[in-house]
Amino acid sequence: MAQPEPNSTATRRSRNIEGTETVLVVEDDPAVREYASHVLKSRGYKLLDASNGVEAIAIVEQKLDAVDIIVTDVKMPEMGGVELARRLRDQRGDVKVLFMSGYVGAEFMVEESVGPNSDFVQKPFAPAVLCAKVRALLDAP
């Protein structure tokens, strides 16, 4: 099989979903958290992770300026993603958040939190979809 040309569409598309920014993945299911973290790390992102919103708040308080985007499950024990986003926006209004959920219709649960610095991805998701949504949020003004 021939290697793609350096300026081919496939090469440009791959570069467009890579990054070096710091992503905080917040997910209560260890398998999903590890999967999302692995996918993003394999594309060059630096990773932090938490199993719920309470842990995420503690991480962000220590590394507020280091976290470039939060990728969070909508429903989690102790504190879900919507409440997490609200609290983080109180501290840092420009925080970028990618909500994810396996529940049908969950996008409507986060409707009020989805704005110019937010988006939603339905689980299960393909690696390219996750990375494309993260990259799009990071690149947004």
8-12, 43-47, 48-52, 71-75 — which is least confidently predicted? 8-12
The one-letter amino acid code at 34 reads E
Domains of the chain, start order = 20-139 (3.40.50.2300)
∠101-102-106 over CA atoms, to 5°? 55
pLDDT reported for residue 116:
65
14-18, 31-35, 97-101 — which is least confidently predicted? 14-18
CA distances from 18 to 15, 39, 40, 85, 132 (A): 5, 10, 8, 24, 8
User: Are 17 and 135 within 8 A, CB to CB?
Assistant: yes
Residue 14 CB contacts under 8 Å (≥ 6 apart), including other chains: none
Q: What is the DSSP letter of 110?
A: T
**Which one has a higher pLDDT value, 92 or 26?**
26
Q: Above 80 in pLDDT, residue 14?
A: no
Tokens of 28: 């209560």
Question: Which has the closest alpha carbon to 29: 101, 111, 119, 83?
Answer: 101
Q: Above 50 in pLDDT, residue 19?
A: yes
Which residues lie across from 120 on neighbouring strands? 99
